[in-house]
């Protein structure tokens, strides 16, 4: 078996600082996740994990009528020449790896970028998870989605194929940031899948830790799944640079908080203490956490996320 | 007693407070990592600004009108006035009960058949009486007097002076009242009833004495009476209109 190296992403690696900004700006403007996937993956979409087989569709199984959404490269052109109809080659797949995308769509994920208009954490998380879903689909892996929003968990069972990708993209598009994380019982019911080894990618801001989500991720890790966390921040959060004024927590009640330059150090200290605890506990349970700013180019973040996998 | 209602005016601060509260809640911008910031006292961040100014104004007006309706105010808004008193009417008493409605320098003239009071009225305003004594139409009644002291009674009827003249007939005739005199007491109920009806017909009430022409001087020390109810109807209409307006505006804002 050949493991696809993360270094097989020449375009992503070649991106310079100026194009990073362009890329995030484009992400802020894009409303179609399909286009985002094409742009970020730039024609390549393999390397999500060490594949058990080479390429997509090795052993021929049967022909199936073409339906819109199928990839052109899977159309059998010789059969088209003979029969004047489009047929798609179906292949027997025996991938043991299912990819689970976990999207935190609580109210705090609506946090916008203070430097790029239209860009927010939920949009960035959507794009990254959509790209991972597209890569899984191109590799022929099954992939599913869990959206945590407004105290509930919406569960899309894992499946393969382009239709599943469209289903997942539609679910991602529908996810709107609202409410809080579901409680532990609801989350346990939603995330009790996965008896076979799975790859779980959770995109969240992890502002609540410990939380039902963190407990669920650690529990999955203990069940020998490959769990990865994408911790999303904004550049303003990283720099502790906000406009002076009053703020409120979108997920907590009535309390009001004030920001001015004099409290910047206290903010940075509290933030660092929180995320240090998050990272320490994750490291302790062997869950890699990638902290990313949403102003970074999604291609770079995706590459870094997959590089973690390569090390494992 | 009703003027105590003016102490309820501070209730106007309630809508002012409500509209300001809402402004404060809207003001704070959402920030996901706000929990890492020190909690600030909202008092320092409040801005003295109000939302829905028109609605606030209407609500304040509504409450002020309600308080005014309960307090039933009397305003001195009437100027120089001529009051006409009908026969037997007492315009001075009527004026004294509502004297607070007249401006302090207003002149009052009372015409007509203003009756004369037993004592000189004390008023804050100078009141000129230009009274006219009404001339009663002369009436002629026929009376026939019989009985013990008929001659004396005839003399008395003949001496009566006034608008009603009595003509004493020698014998009871059609249309004449038969007067028996006090010696002739009625023997039974029917006779008593006939006597009473006769008395009713000949009797007429005493004509009120019309006050003579005079000027009643203003007395600054006189008690000032205020009779409420002058603005009640208008305030009630305004109250209903303001309530309807407030409901409409509040409903429109929710939608």
Q: What pLDDT score does B153 carry?
A: 79
Phi/psi-derived region of residue A132, left when phi > 0, alpha when psi is between -120 and 50, beta in every other case: alpha
Supply A162's token pair.
Answer: 């382009």
> Quick one: what percent of chain B has pLDDT higher than 70?
85
pLDDT digits (tens, 9 = 90+) for B128-158: 999 888 777 787 878 777 777 778 878 888 8
A110 touches chain B (CB under 8 A): yes
Supply A11's token pair.
Answer: 């375009």
Q: Closest to B28 (Cβ–Cβ): which among A110, A248, A263?
A: A248
Domain boundaries, chain B: 2-29+42-73+231-254, 81-134+209-216, 139-202
Mutate to test the interface with B, among A111, A237, A239, A246 (most CBs of B within 10 A): A246
Q: What are phi and psi of A134, to 5 degrees?
A: -65, -40
Per DSSP, the three-state class of B206 is: coil
A249 touches chain B (CB under 8 A): yes
pLDDT at B14 over 70: yes
CA A92 to centroid of chain Cα atoms: 27
Q: What are phi and psi of A248, to 5 degrees?
A: -135, 155
Chain B residues near any Cβ of chain A (below 8 Å): 25, 27-40, 42, 44-45
pLDDT at B184 over 80: no
Structural element, H or E, at residue B198: helix B189-202
| CA atoms of A99 and A142, how far apart (whole Å) | 6
Mean pLDDT score, B223-246: 88
pLDDT bin (cut points 50, 70, 90) of residue A5 is: very low
Q: What pLDDT score does B143 carry?
A: 78
Higher pLDDT, B244 or A68: B244
Mean pLDDT score, B81-107: 89
B-chain residue closest to A257, CA distance:
B39
pLDDT digits (tens, 9 = 90+) for A57-89: 556 767 888 888 788 888 889 999 999 999 988
CA A303 to centroid of chain Cα atoms: 12
B-chain residue closest to A113, CA distance:
B31
Among B114-128, B176-190, B199-213, name the most confident range.
B114-128
All residues at 6 or more sequence positions from A237 whose CB lies less than 8 Å from its CB, including other chains:
A111, A271, B32, B33
pLDDT at A219 over 80: yes
Pick from B212, B208, B222, B210: nearest CA to B128:
B212
Domain boundaries, chain A: 10-52+93-311, 59-92
Per DSSP, the three-state class of B215 is: strand
Q: What pLDDT score does A51 carry?
A: 45
Radius of gyration of the CA atoms of chain A, in A: 20
Tell me the three-class secondary structure of A197-257, residue by residue. Answer: CEEEEEEECCCCCCCHHHHHHHHHHHCCCEEEEEEEECHHHHHCCCCCEEEECCCCCCCCE
Cα(first)–Cα(last) distance of chain B, in Å? 43
List chain A residues with CB under 8 Å of B29.
245-248
pLDDT digits (tens, 9 = 90+) for A81-127: 999 999 988 766 555 678 899 999 999 999 999 888 889 999 999 99
pLDDT bin (cut points 50, 70, 90) of residue A271 is: very high
A295 touches chain B (CB under 8 A): no
Interface touch A257/B34, C-beta < 8 Å: yes
Among A55-69, A202-216, B1-15, B217-231, name the most confident range.
A202-216
List chain A residues with CB under 8 Å of B33.
111, 207, 237, 267, 271
Mutate to test the interface with A, among B32, B39, B40 (most CBs of A within 10 A): B32
Asked whether the whole model's pTM tops 0.80, one would answer no
Q: What are phi and psi of A89, to 5 degrees?
A: -80, 125
Q: What pLDDT score does A147 carry?
A: 94
Instruction: Write down the CATH superfamily of domain A10-52+93-311.
Output: von Willebrand factor, type A domain (3.40.50.410)
Mean pLDDT score, B92-111: 91
Q: What is the mean pLDDT of chain A?
A: 80
pLDDT digits (tens, 9 = 90+) for A243-258: 888 888 888 777 788 8
Interface touch A256/B42, C-beta < 8 Å: yes
Pick from A225, A243, A236, A234: nearest CA to A288:
A225
| CA atoms of A185 and A182, how far apart (whole Å) | 8
Pairs across A and B, CB distance < 8 A: 81
Q: What pLDDT score does A146 carry?
A: 92
List chain B residues with CB under 8 Å of A255.
39
Q: What pLDDT score does A9 carry?
A: 28
Q: What is the mean pLDDT of chain B?
A: 82
| CA atoms of A196 and A136, how far apart (whole Å) | 16
Residue pointed to by tokens 């607070």: B100
Q: What pLDDT score does B254 carry?
A: 74
Mean pLDDT score, A220-249: 89
pLDDT digits (tens, 9 = 90+) for A13-36: 333 333 444 467 777 666 677 777
Are B96 and B121 contacting, i.e. CB atoms less than 8 angstroms apart?
yes
């Amino acid at each position: 078996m050949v493991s696809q190296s993360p270094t097989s992403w020449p375009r992503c690696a070649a991106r310079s600082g100026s194009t990073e900004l362009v890329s995030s700006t484009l992400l802020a403007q894009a409303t179609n996740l399909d286009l985002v996937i094409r742009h970020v993956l730039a024609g390549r979409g393999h390397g999500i994990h060490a594949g058990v087989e080479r390429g997509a569709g090795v052993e021929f199984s049967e022909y199936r009528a073409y339906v819109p959404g199928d990839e052109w490269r899977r159309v059998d052109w010789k059969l088209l020449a003979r029969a004047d109809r489009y047929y798609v080659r179906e292949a027997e797949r025996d991938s043991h790896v299912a990819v689970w995308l976990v999207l935190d769509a609580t109210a705090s994920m609506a946090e916008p970028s203070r430097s790029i208009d239209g860009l927010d954490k939920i949009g960035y998380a959507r794009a990254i998870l959509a790209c991972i879903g597209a890569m899984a689909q191109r590799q022929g892996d099954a992939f599913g989605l869990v959206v945590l929003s407004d105290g509930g968990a919406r569960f899309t069972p894992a499946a393969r194929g382009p239709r599943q990708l469209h289903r997942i993209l539609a679910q991602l598009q529908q996810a709107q940031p609202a409410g809080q994380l579901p409680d532990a019982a609801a989350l346990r019911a939603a995330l009790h899948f996965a008896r076979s080894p799975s790859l779980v990618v959770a995109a969240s801001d992890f502002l609540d830790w410990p939380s039902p989500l963190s407990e669920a991720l650690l529990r999955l890790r203990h069940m020998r799944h490959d769990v990865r966390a994408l911790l999303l921040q904004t550049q303003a959060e990283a720099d502790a640079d906000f406009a002076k004024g009053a703020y409120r927590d979108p997920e907590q009640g009535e309390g009001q908080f004030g920001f001015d330059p004099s409290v910047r150090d206290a903010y940075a200290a509290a933030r660092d203490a929180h995320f240090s605890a998050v990272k320490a506990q994750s490291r302790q349970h062997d869950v890699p956490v990638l902290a990313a700013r949403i102003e970074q180019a999604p291609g770079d973040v995706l590459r870094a996320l997959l590089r973690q996998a390569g090390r494992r | 007693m009703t003027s105590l209602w003016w102490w309820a005016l501070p209730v106007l601060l309630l809508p002012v407070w409500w509209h300001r509260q809402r402004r404060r809640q809207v003001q704070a911008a959402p920030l996901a990592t706000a929990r890492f910031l020190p909690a600030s006292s909202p008092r320092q961040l409040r801005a003295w600004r109000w939302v829905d100014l028109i609605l606030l104004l209407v609500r304040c007006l509504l409450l002020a009108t309600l308080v005014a309706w309960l307090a039933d105010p009397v305003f001195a808004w009437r100027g120089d006035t001529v009051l006409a008193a009908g026969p037997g009417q007492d315009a001075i008493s009527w004026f004294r009960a509502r004297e607070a409605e007249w401006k302090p320098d207003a002149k009052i003239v009372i015409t007509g058949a203003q009756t004369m009071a037993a004592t000189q009225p004390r008023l804050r305003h100078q009141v000129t009486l230009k009274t006219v004594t009404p001339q009663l139409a002369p009436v002629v009644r026929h009376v026939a007097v019989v009985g013990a002291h008929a001659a004396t009674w005839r003399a008395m009827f003949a001496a009566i002076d006034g608008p009603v003249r009595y003509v004493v007939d020698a014998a009871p005739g059609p249309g004449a009242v038969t007067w028996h005199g006090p010696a002739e007491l009625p023997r039974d109920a029917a006779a008593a009833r006939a006597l009473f009806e006769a008395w009713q017909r000949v009797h007429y009430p005493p004509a009120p004495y019309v006050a003579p022409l005079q000027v009643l001087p203003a007395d600054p020390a006189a008690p000032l009476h205020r009779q409420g109810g002058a603005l009640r109807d208008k305030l009630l209409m305004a109250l209903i209109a303001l309530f309807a307006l407030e409901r409409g505006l509040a409903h429109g804002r929710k939608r």
